[in-house]
Amino acid sequence: MTSGLRWDIFCKVIDNYGDIGVCWRLARQLAGCGQAVRLWVDDASALRWMAPLGCPGVEVRPWSESLALADLAPGEVLVEAFGCEIPDEFVACYAAWRSADSRPAAWLNLEYLSAESYVERNHGLCSPVMQGPGRGLSKRFFYPGFTARTGGLLREPGLLQRQADFDRAAWLGQQGIPPIPGAQRVSLFCYEPAALPDLLARLAQQPTPVQLLVTAGRTAAAVQGCARPPGLAVHFLPHLTQDDYDHLLWSCDLNFVRGEDSLVRALWAGQPFVWQIYPQHDKAHHGKLEAFLTQIEAPASLRAAHRSWNGLDAHALSLPDLPGWGASARKARDRLLAQSDLLGRLLEFVGGQPS
């Protein structure tokens, strides 16, 4: 059933990077294995720099108040990403398509990534649609995760070989970053953490010189709003494609990442990293962060750094333990590499849908 299917993925952009980043990565991987994908998105502007060349097999469609549906061929798989609500007019068309050809519906709710215990319990559960044009159909919940009983993580084929073939010096030169003998490189992709001035000060105090590579957007604005400590070399990067963001992570000795997609990329990079989780007003992100740190078996110093960076406590940031954090990151990566990836599990999941 999974050969040559048409997928409709709906995405509402929240912060311009995370949601559309995950959806584009999924769409690109689906197309790479022979699937046809329509990505419906309310704001596709980030794709101009995230994926400027597009991808064969992926069609980006505007998700506006009125959808152009008259010219569409029926799709077999419907994906609502991260709890977005698909317009009734599209659901009505989808229900009509499935009724006309008698093929089973595959309507998936792609959820956010978490290491919390509920993910294993809820992954794959069925939710009957009780009202509206989709009444009589069922949705199924697909939860990305870190264990074999979840939906897994996005990982494209050949990723590790691409990393092994990567020319770090050449890429840094293309970005205009001068070589400094013995320097440590630190990438920064964050929101606006209260601990940012403390981080800049501590990096400037390192016994070896530090080159801080700052991503564009909110991160650059946050750094520009801080006093620049002397002795810290700061380089502001342009917006990077998804592949070049991997190159950034591979080029650095320590990576500060934020949100969901960059966390997964940091795990695959196998370098020391600190994650800033998306903050929630009810502080639900505290438990989510702790569950992740437990899942990757983070050492005490890495746990402390995460708690300080995310504002879970008022402790000052400690100097990074790069050897210890790097060993922890590589062990976590090896455990995850031993599992199947999200795409494989998703195709199997859709193929196994009951009629």
pLDDT of 222 higher than 50 = yes
Same domain, residue pair 80 and 212: no
Same domain, residue pair 140 and 182: no
pLDDT of 65 higher than 80 = no
Q: What residues are annotated to the active site?
A: 19, 260
Decide: 129 and 138 in contact? Cβ < 8 Å.
Answer: yes
In the chain, the number of structural domains is 2
CATH number at residue 24: 3.40.50
Residue 273 lies in a domain: yes
Residue 185 lies in a domain: yes
Same domain, residue pair 307 and 344: no
Specify the residue for token string 């006309």: 100
Decide: 215 and 240 in contact? Cβ < 8 Å.
Answer: yes
Classify 42 as helix, strand or coil.
coil
Decide: 74 and 90 in contact? Cβ < 8 Å.
Answer: no
pLDDT of 190 higher than 50 = yes
Cα–Cα distance measured from residue 303 to residue 306, given in angstroms and rounded to the nearest whole number: 5
Decide: 275 and 266 in contact? Cβ < 8 Å.
Answer: yes
Same domain, residue pair 194 and 167: yes
Residue-wise pLDDT tens digits, 226-254: 999 998 999 999 999 999 999 999 999 99
Residue-wise pLDDT tens digits, 274-316: 999 988 777 778 889 999 999 999 999 999 999 999 999 989 8
Residue-wise pLDDT tens digits, 50-64: 999 999 999 999 998
Residue 163 lies in a domain: yes
Three-state DSSP string of 269-281:
HCCCEEEECCCCC
First to last CA, the chain: 12
Same domain, residue pair 147 and 200: no
Same domain, residue pair 17 and 98: yes
Decide: 38 and 5 in contact? Cβ < 8 Å.
Answer: no
Picking from 5-9, 38-42, 69-73, which range would have the lowest pLDDT averaged per residue? 69-73
pLDDT of 353 higher than 80 = no
Domain that includes residue 174, residue range: 159-337
Same domain, residue pair 123 and 193: no
Cα–Cα distance measured from residue 133 to residue 87, given in angstroms and rounded to the nearest whole number: 10
Same domain, residue pair 199 and 305: yes
Same domain, residue pair 130 and 185: no
Picking from 65-74, 157-166, 172-181, 197-206, which range would have the lowest pLDDT averaged per residue? 65-74
pLDDT of 68 higher than 80 = no
CATH number at residue 299: 3.40.50.2000
Same domain, residue pair 181 and 218: yes
Using alpha carbons, list the distances in angstroms from residue 131 to 92, 94, 105, 138, 144: 12, 15, 16, 11, 27
Nearest-5° Cα angle at 156, 276 to 26: 70
pLDDT of 354 higher than 60 = no
pTM of the model as a whole: 0.94
How is residue 171 written in tokens? 């890429």
The closest alpha carbon to 347, from 113, 38, 76, belongs to: 76
Same domain, residue pair 250 and 195: yes
Residue 247 lies in a domain: yes
Cα–Cα distance measured from residue 97 to residue 162, given in angstroms and rounded to the nearest whole number: 41
* Model pLDDT, residue 355: 34
**Backbone phi, then psi, for 343, in 5-degree steps?**
-60, -45
Same domain, residue pair 39 and 142: yes
Residue 347 lies in a domain: yes
Cα–Cα distance measured from residue 80 to residue 86, given in angstroms and rounded to the nearest whole number: 7
Q: Which residues contact 110 (CB under 8 A, 6 or more apart)?
A: 9, 26, 79, 80, 81, 82, 142, 144
Residue-wise pLDDT tens digits, 138-179: 999 999 999 999 999 999 999 999 999 999 999 999 999 999
Residue 118 lies in a domain: yes
* Model pLDDT, residue 2: 55
Mean of the per-residue pLDDT values for the chain? 92
Residue 1 lies in a domain: no
Residue 112 lies in a domain: yes
* Model pLDDT, residue 79: 96
How is residue 176 written in tokens? 């205009």
- Residue 337's pLDDT band (cuts 50, 70, 90): very high
- Residue 4's pLDDT band (cuts 50, 70, 90): confident
Cα–Cα distance measured from residue 245 to residue 17, given in angstroms and rounded to the nearest whole number: 12
pLDDT of 225 higher than 50 = yes
What is the average pLDDT across 93-117? Answer: 89
DSSP state letters, 160-213: HHHHHT--HHHHHHHTT----TT-EEEEE--S--TTHHHHHHHHHTSSS-EEEE
